[in-house]
Chains A and B, each alone.
Chain A
């Protein structure tokens, strides 16, 4: 198992390097100059000497390949450089906002799973019935409504019925758990709805597939009660594709919460990313893209390891080692 994990971690190196190369060089293809944007953004007239000095300070006057190797060497020491806009270290800016996004992503995932598992299973079991039809509409709507719009509707409803407005700053979980949860549950609901729609569709189709298998017929034939057939035989096997979707969708939320965070005024990774894009803060953007890539790869690894936990037929490390 450990061998397998080490092997998988080794495999991530070319992927991460590829992601780094693509992001770094693409961001510099077009000579849109962050320094010019920063200094002359308000229509100010700045002499070329000032621009050159700022470029030298940010290291932008060096050859691209040197900039790239500087960045790579920094990454190895968890130094992602400094934001071109605020001048603060990228790693500090990210770590200040990471937990808010992490918490919303986690809560959205929990909500999504809680809705999707019963809904997807029921709709497969009552295939073609009213529940199945209602689920199809519910999930299709979930895939279609923009999460940020659902968030705005929730905010309108909260404001009109309870006069509640989202706090300007994020309440930390440690100092005030109830306040924190009552603040973050709403964005999590807005995002969790879409999550549940994606997941319920997968669960429905895998449960349908599993129900057609021979061992289910055998279980029925030997007179097992439906609860055990479904719970122990069908759901357990239908779980595997669901785990993949849960893991990868969870990873996607770190970058995908961008718009929802804007609506709920949450100071998370998404907001930071949008600011970086608006300011063309390349160092921040490339740092965050690498973070999203690492999260995705890590989630992928966890999903594969969970497969072995839930399916005894899968054993890693024994075949390769």
Chain B
């Protein structure tokens, strides 16, 4: 554990050397992350203040990505939108992957009837596309605000991720479960929780990180889709999917920049996390190297 921590600095370097595309995607993610966190300093305008003197202006030196139907600067709203997208996606993919991993690992560890029951429910959930499950959760929970955060939306993105992760982690955990050191830990009389979290979990970190990156991208896509449908983030909060809805669909003939730039932001974010996931997989597991 200590050795792993000490080598963390050099492992980032070795990742960058072996996976140049992965390093680029990591850089992109960091830029988006810092832009989102320091949006107040980075963004040139206020994201929500309406300015009727500059409605539907094309890209210019004053507004690099143009303005929307309310005269708001689109680049500013994209930068603030990064905060919304990354915050919601990070919380829901962390929750979804962690719950999925615990479910998958327990399913493999206990085996027998418990495994069978969990896997049948997972089977059923896996027969729907992510967006359908997300919409069903939206229908169940609606908009449930807790401290200004829509936990209905978080749940709608988290819950569809759980069965997907559970299935993948289960298959990794099954092979670990059969290893003699896990058997030894069980024979030594350690509790189930301890064996799962202390002995099996460290070997599941690699697939977990890959899944986290992949489902981060799916979460961004889901949030954008739900917001676009009017069932996610609501105005005036800046969110990429929301920027493509409403007035963007009315005015896209005159003001195509209203559609082009927010969509580019979504694509770039999803692209970066997909690429990072791919590179992490290649780097962490040499068997997958192509």
A residues with a Cβ closer than 8 A to B are 14-15, 18-19, 22-23, 26-27, 29-30, 32, 127, 140-141, 143-146, 148-149, 152-153, 155-156, 159-160, 205, 208, 252, 255-256, 258-259, 262-263, 273-274, 276-278, 280, 282, 285, 289, 292-293, 296-297
CB distance from B279 to the nearest CB of A (A): 11
- Taking CB atoms, residues of chain B closer than 8 Å to A263 are 249
Contact (Cβ within 8 A) A285 B136: yes
- Taking CB atoms, residues of chain B closer than 8 Å to A127 are 290
Q: What's the Cα separation between A127 and B290 when bound, in Å? A: 9
With CB as the reference atom, state the residue of chain A lying closest to B25. A140
Neighbour of B136 across the interface among A145, A205, A289, CB < 8 A: A289
Contact (Cβ within 8 A) A274 B253: no
- Taking CB atoms, residues of chain B closer than 8 Å to A274 are 135, 229, 231
Q: What's the Cα separation between A144 and B264 when bound, in Å? A: 10
Q: What's the Cα separation between A151 and B81 when bound, in Å? A: 21
Chain B 242-273 near chain A by CB (<8 Å), digits 1 or 0? 00100011001100100110010011101100
CB distance from B88 to the nearest CB of A (A): 16
Contact (Cβ within 8 A) A148 B217: no
Contact (Cβ within 8 A) A18 B136: no
Known: A141-B267, A146-B263, A152-B263. 15 other contacts (CB 8 A): A22-B121, A22-B125, A26-B140, A127-B290, A144-B267, A146-B224, A146-B267, A146-B270, A152-B244, A156-B256, A160-B256, A256-B129, A262-B228, A277-B136, A282-B139
Contact (Cβ within 8 A) A18 B128: no
- Taking CB atoms, residues of chain A closer than 8 Å to B138 are 277
Known pairs A19-B127, A152-B263, A156-B252; A143 contacts B274 (CB<8 A):
yes
Contact (Cβ within 8 A) A273 B132: yes
With CB as the reference atom, state the residue of chain A lying closest to B156. A277
Known pairs A140-B271, A258-B135, A262-B229; A297 contacts B127 (CB<8 A):
yes
Neighbour of A30 across the interface among B141, B224, B230, B231, CB < 8 A: B141
Contact (Cβ within 8 A) A19 B244: no
Contact (Cβ within 8 A) A293 B128: yes
B142 within 8 A of A: yes
Q: What's the Cα separation between A208 and B289 when bound, in Å? A: 12
Contact (Cβ within 8 A) B121 A18: yes
CB distance from B171 to the nearest CB of A (A): 17
B residues with a Cβ closer than 8 A to A are 120-121, 123-125, 127-129, 131-132, 135-136, 138-142, 217, 221, 224-225, 228-231, 244, 248-249, 252-253, 256, 259-260, 263, 266-268, 270-271, 274-275, 278, 290
Known pairs A153-B263, A277-B139; A205 contacts B132 (CB<8 A):
no
CB distance from A113 to the nearest CB of B (A): 19
CB distance from A255 to the nearest CB of B (A): 4
- Taking CB atoms, residues of chain A closer than 8 Å to B224 are 146
Contact (Cβ within 8 A) A146 B225: yes
Contact (Cβ within 8 A) A145 B249: no
Known pairs A152-B249, A156-B259; A255 contacts B132 (CB<8 A):
yes
Contact (Cβ within 8 A) B124 A22: yes
Would you list 17 pairs from A and B whose C-beta atoms are within 8 A, ordered by A residue?
A: A26-B140, A32-B140, A144-B217, A145-B263, A146-B221, A146-B266, A148-B225, A152-B248, A152-B259, A156-B252, A256-B129, A258-B132, A262-B228, A274-B229, A277-B139, A280-B139, A285-B139
CB distance from A199 to the nearest CB of B (A): 16
Neighbour of A258 across the interface among B124, B131, B266, B290, CB < 8 A: B131
Contact (Cβ within 8 A) B253 A156: yes
Q: What's the Cα separation between A27 and B137 when bound, in Å? A: 8
- Taking CB atoms, residues of chain B closer than 8 Å to A160 are 253, 256
Residue picked from B136, B248, B266, B274, most chain A C-beta under 10 Å? B136
- Taking CB atoms, residues of chain B closer than 8 Å to A152 are 244, 248-249, 252, 259, 263
- Taking CB atoms, residues of chain A closer than 8 Å to B225 are 146, 148, 258-259
With CB as the reference atom, state the residue of chain B lying closest to A30. B140
With CB as the reference atom, state the residue of chain A lying closest to B221. A146
Contact (Cβ within 8 A) B274 A149: no
Q: What's the Cα separation between A259 and B263 when bound, in Å? A: 14
CB distance from B20 to the nearest CB of A (A): 12
- Taking CB atoms, residues of chain A closer than 8 Å to B271 are 140-141, 144
CB distance from B244 to the nearest CB of A (A): 7
With CB as the reference atom, state the residue of chain A lying closest to B278. A140
- Taking CB atoms, residues of chain A closer than 8 Å to B231 are 274, 277-278
- Taking CB atoms, residues of chain B closer than 8 Å to A280 are 139, 142
CB distance from B222 to the nearest CB of A (A): 10
Known pairs A141-B271, A156-B256; A149 contacts B135 (CB<8 A):
no
Q: What's the Cα separation between A23 and B125 when bound, in Å? A: 10
Q: What's the Cα separation between A289 and B263 when bound, in Å? A: 29
Neighbour of B132 across the interface among A22, A140, A256, CB < 8 A: A256
Q: What's the Cα separation between A273 and B259 when bound, in Å? A: 25
Contact (Cβ within 8 A) A18 B132: no
CB distance from A34 to the nearest CB of B (A): 10
Q: What's the Cα separation between A256 and B133 when bound, in Å? A: 10
Q: What's the Cα separation between A138 and B138 when bound, in Å? A: 33
Contact (Cβ within 8 A) A19 B139: no
